[in-house]
Amino acid sequence: MTHELLNKAPAGGSHPSPESLHRRLLPWYRRQRRRLPWRGAGDPYRVWVSEVMLQQTQVATVTPFYQRFIDRFPTIARLARARAPDVLAAWSGLGYYRRARNLHAAARLVAREHAGRIPADPVRFGRLPGVGRYTVGAVLSIAFDLPLPVLDGNVARVLSRLYALPASIREPKGARALWRLAGTLVPMRRAGDWNQALMELGATVCLPRGPRCPACPVRALCRARALERVEVLPPPAPRRRTVTVKRAVALIERDGRLLMVRREGTLLDGMWEPPGVELERRASARAALGRALKKLGVTARLEPTGRRVRHRITHRAIEVEVWRGVEGAHAPGARVRGARFVGPRARGLALTALARKLQS
């Protein structure tokens, strides 16, 4: 498949050899790599945490979260012993919370089935929750110097341009071709540095828009540059259709504290935010919120604030009507599991992004 796509690439110049890329890119990485808190640690656990956090999230966003998380759970044993709500609270604000749940579950499996040591075997490591092909390659190459490839958006863009390869990581056929190509380039030694060099090049030089080609250490080998096709590679993949969602939430205060409920279900499970409902077309927000509050054993007079908050979760564009509830008498048995009044800081509680916006 890789050869087929390479053959379809525009003619003009030979493909860069692995050795020529290694000679240029590895010295550049040693000189130019960013100083990041997880680099050079030599601890497989810390490499793993950083790689999980960096999935779908920018380095600048991850850095403070990583440091706080490691301060809270400095070893995999500490993470394995932690309560799930505490792990989610430490992750709160970083998003994609399934990553935190999988990392926590994997840590417990490592403690129980691998004597607390992260397995260096790709098959055994790959069986842990949330560990896919990218994570296997990144963690085991960086932490154990195993000659395994990685492929993320940055690496895919670099390879597509270097080889003028019309392949997108978001398309199955293109992803397979790029994985095969990445596998042919990994050196037997210093595989971790090589993988990080590719990722660093994509993150800082070979940018999606406005690539800094004059600063690129492998520009002389880049077929896309020679063919003046840098801006059109890799080819864009079809974008996932945006789904518009309307919600309503109720802000109910008591003694300066705000009522929060724990969400359940596949999306944001275990996270906390003010009580709310998803609105069907032409549904009454007041009535729907009233029914939701009744289930919590809370009666409140609901008043519209006129405020609307917009935010996004993956492909869901969410518009939220904000209502204020004046708390009335509690129905019998008002204490409901998964609902509590919390203070402004809500320390130790895993708040959703919406809850944080509503508190600001």
In one-letter notation, the amino acid at residue 347 is: R
Burial class (CB in 10 A: 0-12, 13-18, 19+), 306: exposed
Choose, from 51, 200, 273, 321, the residue flagged as catalytic: 51
**What does DSSP assign to residue 333?**
T
Give the DSSP per-residue string, 51-110: HHHHTTS-HHHHHHHHHHHHHH--SHHHHHHS-HHHHHHHHTTS--THHHHHHHHHHHHH
Report which of 232, 124, 74, 301 is spatially closest to residue 82, judged by C-alpha positions: 74
How many C-alpha atoms does 212 have within 13 Å on its Cβ side? 9
Report phi then psi at 62, rounded to 5. -70, -40
51 among known catalytic residues: yes
Mind telling me the catalytic residues? 51
